[in-house]
């Protein structure tokens, strides 16, 4: 989407930046695991994060890299 597509009425002195975010969910090896890759960035510069969520004894364990 073009940068102006999400234009919000903000005061002129407030700096506003538009970022692209996409998430790709990966196939899990077991039912209690969720995994995905997140891509965040702008101007052809991106950061990738791999996140795995595991549920053990009703607690969520998060691993990011």
Give Cα separations from 13 to 4, 8, 10 (angstroms). 17, 14, 8
What's residue 39's pLDDT? 96
Torsion 65-33-46-7 (CA) sign:
negative
Q: pLDDT tens for residues 7-47? A: 667 777 888 788 899 999 998 788 889 999 999 999 889 99
pTM (predicted TM-score): 0.65
């Amino acid at each position: 989407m073009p940068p102006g597509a999400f234009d919000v009425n903000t005061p002129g002195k407030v700096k506003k930046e538009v970022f692209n975010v996409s998430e790709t969910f990966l196939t899990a090896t077991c039912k209690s695991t969720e995994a995905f890759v997140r891509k965040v960035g702008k101007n052809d510069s991106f950061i990738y994060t791999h996140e795995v969520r595991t549920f053990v004894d009703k607690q969520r364990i998060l691993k990011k890299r």
